[in-house]
């Protein structure tokens, strides 16, 4: 059975023998995904708590949908990082997931905060 290359390349860190080596961009992507998702969920929960008279307002629903969508994209990104790195794949799909997570989470945060100003 073929196995992945156990060698750690330059600028990569391997937290365990059971995990693939991760470079700095992978670690930043994971941190942005986790912190961005947590921030979006917190914004949605605060919006839901703030609208006690009408918990189904358009702003609250939009924030909950943004948080849910960003969470799904970020979970796919983190799982994709481990799958792609386990076989040492550095192709267009890895860059697509990384950019979608990084820029999509930032855009969702800006939109979630911006719609509250309306």
- The reported pLDDT for the residue numbered 26 is 85
Q: For residue 30, is it within any domain?
A: yes
Give the residue numbers spanning the domain of 37. Answer: 22-117
Q: For residue 1, is it within any domain?
A: no
Helix (H, G, I), strand (E, B) or coil at 18: coil
Q: For residue 9, is it within any domain?
A: no
| Predicted TM-score of the model (pTM) | 0.81
Q: For residue 67, is it within any domain?
A: yes
Domain total for the chain?
A: 1
Q: For residue 69, is it within any domain?
A: yes
DSSP 31-88: HHHHHHHHHHHHHHHHHHHH-SS-TT-HHHHHHHHHHHHHHHHHHHHHHHHHHHHHTT
Q: For residue 42, is it within any domain?
A: yes
What does each C-alpha distance from 50 to 60, 64, 96, 112, 116 come to in angstroms? Answer: 9, 13, 36, 15, 11
Return all residues near 102 (Cβ < 8 A) that are at least 6 apart. 29, 32
What is the mean pLDDT for each group of 10 consecutive residues in the chain (118 residues)? 59 75 84 95 89 81 94 91 83 84 92 89
């Amino acid at each position: 059975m073929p196995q992945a290359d156990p060698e750690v390349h330059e600028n990569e860190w391997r937290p365990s023998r059971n995990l693939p080596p991760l470079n700095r961009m992978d670690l930043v992507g994971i941190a942005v995904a986790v912190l961005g998702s947590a921030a979006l969920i917190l914004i949605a929960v605060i919006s839901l708590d703030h609208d006690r008279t009408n918990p189904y307002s358009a702003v609250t629903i939009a924030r909950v949908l943004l948080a849910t969508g960003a969470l799904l994209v970020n979970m796919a990104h983190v799982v994709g990082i481990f799958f792609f790195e386990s076989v040492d794949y550095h192709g267009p799909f890895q860059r697509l997931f990384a950019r979608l997570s990084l820029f999509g989470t930032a855009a969702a945060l800006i939109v979630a905060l911006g719609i509250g100003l309306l």
